[in-house]
Amino acid sequence: MGIYAINYNLANHPMVTLKEIKLAAKRLKDVVYKTPVTYSYSLSELSGANVYLKLENLQRTGSFKIRGAYNKLYKINGTTRRVIAASAGNHAQGVALAAKLLGMKAKLIMPEGTPINKTVAVRHYGADVFLYGNTFDDSYGYARQLEKESGDLFIHAFDDPDVIAGQGTIGLEIIESLKNVEAVLVPIGGGGLISGVSTAIKEKNPRIKIIGVQSKNAPSMSISLKKGTVVETGSGQTIADGIAVKKVGILTFEMVKKYVDDIISVNDNEIEEALLLLTERKRIVVEGAGAVGLAGLFKRKNKFHKKNVLILISGGNIDINILAKIIERGLVKNGRFIRLIVELPDIPGSLGKLTSLLGSLKANIVQIFHDRFSRNLPIDRATVEISLETKSFEHQREVMILLRENGYNPKEKT
């Protein structure tokens, strides 16, 4: 088996039941937030569906992972006091907080390139952080090695019945909050989240459709279902790093096969657009994995037309620098932002004339850099690199025409 899957004998470890999820909910009652379900008028109008959002990005640690981690650690508390896990972010924070709440000691192995904000968050909860390797695979292998050497108990991120039961409590909350839901879109990585959620919902109301949404660059679950067995796939780079898993779990595969109705694959451009939409229209900060459900809805709008659809926003732990880059790229793609390089005479009033022209068309100057000293410039010339906020591509065209009519030769900087 690949490094991601625990070698379960399903005869001895049957699939998680609704009863176990209800027991997990009791354990978690005073530990996690019952995150809100909110209706979105704007997303409903854009998609043609009646769109509801389950906001697990507002959960403690910024994602759903605390649910499964706490349920697991609660059950083993008393048999061990030390746990170890590998993670690129959310699972590490969930394990770290759960260990702190239960008085246990946690050791988290994370890749060396993990953003500082994530390692700081894990240390904030009192866990020990060790950075090892360039990828999650490297960290995982090292964690399993340390497990054998130290005797610490390894906490799997998704292929564990107690972890799955904890994640399934989200499904109970969805059913309680939204009686008329017809379809639920859930991110798929290793399968722990959708396994728990689908079990809770389908056992309560089998008519509700459970739709998984995966990154096109991490298609292990859909390929495994087609092949009829767990398949390890290459996991390419994706903005949805929280679901970038090469091999889904043995247990989660069986549960998805039983309960999940369909899987949608989305690419990074579609995820970025969904993330930008949530940021701009809903003022909701989400990570790539948290935005895939909305990306899946827009990819299959006809399938969900006029249906009551709930999208599970699984987490909001995005690196702020990545978020800024996504926002800027999205604005550029939608004609809302442009960078220009303009040469002008190096005489008093030239820069003022240029900015007045731009102001006459209501093009908002975001940033400007005036260069008079580059050695490639003639002595009597200067260049201006200017960033503009615009309304549309047509607005940008009007700006370019006006500048050319006034003797400038603007060039777009890409």
Q: Does residue 5 lie in a domain region?
A: no
Q: Which residues of the chain have pLDDT under 50?
A: 1-7
pLDDT for the residue 249? 92
Handedness of CA 300, 303, 307, 311 (dihedral sign): negative
Residue 260 shares a structural domain with residue 171: yes
Both 196 and 218 in a single domain? yes
Could you please report the per-residue DSSP string of 46-92?
Answer: HHSSEEEEEEGGGSGGGBTHHHHHHHHHHHHBTTBSEEEEE-SSHHH
CATH number of the domain to which 280 belongs: 3.40.50.1100
d(CA 145, CA 398): 62
pLDDT at position 373 is: 86
Residues 186 and 298 in one domain: yes
Domain final position from 133, 154, 175: 154
∠ at Cα 392 (389, 398), nearest 5°?
90
264 CB neighbour count, 10 Å cutoff? 21
Interatomic CA distance for residues 130 and 12, integer angstroms: 34
- Domain boundary at 266, 290, 318, which? 318
C-alpha distances in angstroms, 249 versus 10, 31, 227, 287, 340?
Answer: 12, 27, 15, 23, 50
Whether residue 23 is found in the same domain as residue 52: yes
Kindly state whether residues 214 and 92 are assigned to the same domain.
no
307 and 214 co-located in one domain: yes
125/268 same-domain check: no
Does the pTM surpass 0.75? The reply is yes
Q: Is residue 1 part of a domain?
A: no
- pLDDT tens sequence across 38-86: 999 999 999 999 999 999 999 999 999 999 999 999 999 989 889 999 9
Total domains present in the chain = 3
* Measured CA distances, 165 to 19, 205, 246, 322, 334 (Å): 9, 18, 23, 32, 42
Domain span at residue 104? 66-154
Residue at 10 is within a domain: no
**Residue where a domain stops, chosen among 267, 292, 318:** 318
Whole-number pLDDT of residue 9: 54
Cα–Cα distance measured from residue 403 to residue 48, given in angstroms and rounded to the nearest whole number: 41
- Same-domain status, 282 and 262: yes
Q: Within this chain, do residues 311 and 364 fall inside the same structural domain, yes or no?
A: no
Long-range contacts of 348-354 (CB under 8 A, 24+ apart): 350/382, 351/382, 351/384, 353/406, 354/384, 354/386, 354/403, 354/408
The CATH number assigned to the domain holding 400 equals 3.30.70.260
188 shares a domain with 51: yes
In this structure, the answer to whether residues 182 and 232 fall within a common structural domain is yes
**Angstrom distance (rounded) from CA 4 to CA 15:** 18
Q: Residue 230: inside a domain, yes or no? A: yes
Same structural domain, 266 and 308: yes
Cβ(51)–Cβ(297) below 8 Å: yes
- Residue 7 falls inside a structural domain: no
